[in-house]
Amino acid sequence: MGRIEAVSVLKQHAQAIRAMGATSLYVFGSTVRDEAQPARDLGLFIDYDPGSRFNAFDLVGIKQYLEDELRIPVDVTTRDGLHPMLRAEKKNSRADFLMARRVAHALHDILEAIERVEDITRGKSLGDFEASWQLRWLVQRANEIISEASRAIPDELTGTEPGIPWRKARGIGNVLRHDYEGLSDRIIWNVVLDELPRGQFNRSPSGRMVDRPEAGAAGQD
């Protein structure tokens, strides 16, 4: 769906979207650049009244409504939920245009998640991990972020770092979401000890991809 078509179609649903709590709606990514392919998601972000009780369920409701009406995958976020790198790009763009660079964003998110896990687990033991549900949940959430972000990195880039367990990193998110009851605290803790340090891109040649946000990013929406 191209930009003109997307804007035209969305205008037809503007009243319904406003009724769900959105005060404005913006198209971004490949659609606004007229590079979208039929199978690609329609990327949108909305504004809402911060004085309202608009919440994540309402956001999901907008996404589901649009997917039902448009019959295409739709990604919806809020202005304050945009990735920090996207918000920085937006300052240099027109109000209705955002250049998504998902590979650079994904690398950023992987590094950030690893660094945060290192911070919160520093000096901790397996016993500490087992005794703190907050620590366990934070580590599991970080692994989910790493897993999802890994999926945004194309194979031609992951192939430059064969020592990183990309396939397992991508797969653990599904296990944590769907088979969480079958994972013991000990084996999650062992991921912290043995796997996450291997994913330190800034300690390997892949760190150059983080320093060059444009690498592999063009057209990756």
Reported residue count of the chain is 221
Where do the structural domains in the chain lie, given as residue ranges? 3-90, 103-211
pLDDT tens for each residue of 67-92: 998 888 888 888 888 776 666 555 44
pTM: 0.64
pLDDT at 206: 47
Contacts 24+ apart (CB under 8 A), 64-71: 65/13, 65/16, 65/17, 65/20, 66/13, 66/17, 66/42, 69/13, 70/1, 70/9, 70/42
Comparing 5 with 54, the larger pLDDT belongs to 54
pLDDT at 96: 37
Lookup: tokens for 47: 């504004």
Say how far apart CA 158 and CA 163 lie, in whole Å.
9
110, 201 Cβ separation under 8 angstroms: yes
pLDDT at 120: 94
* Domain at 3-90, CATH from 3.30.420.40, 3.40.50.2300, 3.40.309.10, 3.30.460.10: 3.30.460.10
Residue ranges with strand state E in the chain: 22-28, 42-48, 74-78
The tokens 């995958």 sit on which residue? 73
